[in-house]
Chains A and B, each alone.
Chain A
Amino acid sequence: MSDEQSLTYEDARDALIDIVRKLEAGGTTLEESLALWERGEQLAKQCQQLLDGARTRLEAAKPQE
């Protein structure tokens, strides 16, 4: 899981794109679909967290006026 956490935003996003493509293409077993979907959800969450983190840092760096 620690490996998962250290994914860069780009890596996570590309993995997510890949998963969506696979899901949309079909041809997977139910079990595989569910696993893919779970992984996709997790990646999407991670991407969002990274984006939110970046935004927070940006806000924090804002000059105090």
Chain B
Amino acid sequence: MPLESSAESPVAVRTVAKALTDWIGRLGRVWVEGQVTEVTRRPGQATGFLVLRDTAVEMSLRVSCKARLIDDLDPPLTEGSRVVVWGRPEYYAARGTLTFAAVDIRPVGIGALLARIEALRAVLAAEGLFAADRKKPLPFLPRQVGLITGRASAAEHDVVENAQRRWPGVSFQIEPVAVQGPYAVTEVIEALGRLDKDPEVDVIVIARGGGSMEDLLPFSDEALVRAVAAALTPVVSAIGHETDIPLLDHVADCRASTPTDAAKLVVPDHAEETERIRTAVLRARRCVTQLLDNEQNRLDTLKDRPALADPWGVLDGWASIVDELRQRAGRAAASGLTLRSGEITALTAQVTALSPQATLDRGYAVLQRTDSQVVRDASAVAVGEQLTARVATGTLHLVTEAVPT
């Protein structure tokens, strides 16, 4: 029921104070868990004060209690202790302050914390937050490495030093945060948010050296684990020693056993990569050389084939055909000639054999009439007829004087 008021008719302080007391009183007693960030216990004073902070966000309660409650705690309360407090919020009207009046304070034991982490682990696993298919691959060579770690810590040194040794050109964007205590979770989440938004940052390392179980609690915090799960940039966790496995290790895209190991995961080894490239180039060269050699062999074989290596062979083939033909022609011509010259000889002999010359040589003469008829019968010749007498050498022209009667 809102109080009716105006500038002309304001309500009294006591009215507001009473209303507050009334409203706040209605909350009743609750069990509250948080982390102690401040203890005020002055000797001689009957009341002590604590500041109890939420483990994930920046919200606090001021707790008042009997000083004895604080004194009786074993182990004594320190900053960062996890406690469960039973009490009710109270508005102290005389001073206008709000405190949580505690009637019981119990430290949260390690066993209970571990059990709670285990329960949370089961819940998150069931949600699929740790599933292998959610893991993002790490970049081969990040433009920038985001590093969330304690300011000037050994973990920072280990990551940076080892990464630079492997890849001298590596560039870091370092976010120094509280890596334990009540502010760790919020600071890590904020740093993660900044780095995740930076487009130059290709991988984020969350690193912290070894510590007590309580020291590592922030890295099992639900809010932090969910923030890492939601990050778009691959996250590498490098918390404590090999044996420490906070929930962050499960949700991170890659788990490094130590900060040094994280350095190995985020950048390649320069020398190793150089060697790999060199080997690759050598192999490529060998392949190409082999290919060229093979082709050279093929080409050489082709060029050695008689069809190409001995172009004269082609001509020789043709030339020999021509040659042979010529020889055949010659032979044919020669044999024709021989045949004919034999004929001539025979004919000549024949002609010689048939010639009357031999008879003429012996002194005979042949008489022929003007029409070349040989005179065989003297009575066939008329007186005064002209005749020719062929003797061995030359011819005589005769006139017939007388014929037989």
Q: Please report A residues at the B interface, Cβ cutoff 8 Å.
A: 9, 13, 16-17, 19-20, 23-24, 30, 33-34, 37, 40-41, 44, 47-48, 51, 54-55, 58, 62-63
Chain A residue numbers with a CB within 8 Å of B299 are 13, 16, 44, 47-48, 51
Chain B residue numbers with a CB within 8 Å of A55 are 292
Is residue B307 within 8 Å, beta carbon to beta carbon, of the partner chain?
A: yes
Whether the pair B307, A37 counts as a contact (CB closer than 8 A) is: yes
Report Cα–Cα, A51/B297, bound state, in Å: 11
Main secondary structure of the interface of B (DSSP, over half): helix
Is residue B114 within 8 Å, beta carbon to beta carbon, of the partner chain?
A: no
Whether the pair B289, A44 counts as a contact (CB closer than 8 A) is: no
Given A20-B302, A33-B314, A47-B299, A58 and B307 touching (CB < 8 A)? no
Whether the pair A40, B295 counts as a contact (CB closer than 8 A) is: no
Chain A nearest CB: distance from B311 CB in Å?
5
Report Cα–Cα, A33/B308, bound state, in Å: 11
Whether the pair B314, A13 counts as a contact (CB closer than 8 A) is: no
- The answer, among B295, B307, B318, for a CB contact under 8 Å with A30, is B318
Is residue B276 within 8 Å, beta carbon to beta carbon, of the partner chain?
A: no
Chain B nearest CB: distance from A30 CB in Å?
5
Chain B nearest CB: distance from A47 CB in Å?
5
Listed residue (B289, B295, B305, B307) with the most chain A CB atoms within 10 angstroms of its CB: B307
* Interface residues as binary, B295-311 with A (CB distance below 8 Å gives 1, 0 otherwise): 11011001101111001
Given A13-B299, A24-B307, A58 and B314 touching (CB < 8 A)? no
Given A34-B314, A58-B288, A58-B289, A13 and B298 touching (CB < 8 A)? yes
Whether the pair A9, B295 counts as a contact (CB closer than 8 A) is: yes
Closest-by-CB residue of B relative to A12 is: B299
- The answer, among B289, B303, B307, for a CB contact under 8 Å with A23, is B307
Report Cα–Cα, A40/B311, bound state, in Å: 10
Number of A-B residue pairs at CB separation under 8 A: 51
Report Cα–Cα, A17/B43, bound state, in Å: 108
Report Cα–Cα, A44/B289, bound state, in Å: 20
Report Cα–Cα, A23/B318, bound state, in Å: 13
Whether the pair B296, A51 counts as a contact (CB closer than 8 A) is: yes
Is residue B194 within 8 Å, beta carbon to beta carbon, of the partner chain?
A: no
Chain A residue numbers with a CB within 8 Å of B296 are 51
Report Cα–Cα, A33/B318, bound state, in Å: 10
Report Cα–Cα, A28/B281, bound state, in Å: 49
Chain A residue numbers with a CB within 8 Å of B305 are 20, 24
Chain B residue numbers with a CB within 8 Å of A47 are 295, 299
Is residue B134 within 8 Å, beta carbon to beta carbon, of the partner chain?
A: no
Is residue B285 within 8 Å, beta carbon to beta carbon, of the partner chain?
A: yes
Chain A residue numbers with a CB within 8 Å of B303 are 44
A–B pairs, 23, beta carbons within 8 Å: A13-B302, A16-B299, A16-B302, A19-B307, A20-B305, A20-B307, A23-B307, A23-B308, A23-B314, A24-B306, A37-B308, A40-B307, A41-B311, A44-B302, A44-B308, A47-B295, A51-B295, A51-B299, A54-B292, A55-B292, A58-B292, A62-B285, A63-B281
Closest-by-CB residue of B relative to A48 is: B299
Report Cα–Cα, A13/B298, bound state, in Å: 9
Chain A nearest CB: distance from B141 CB in Å?
22
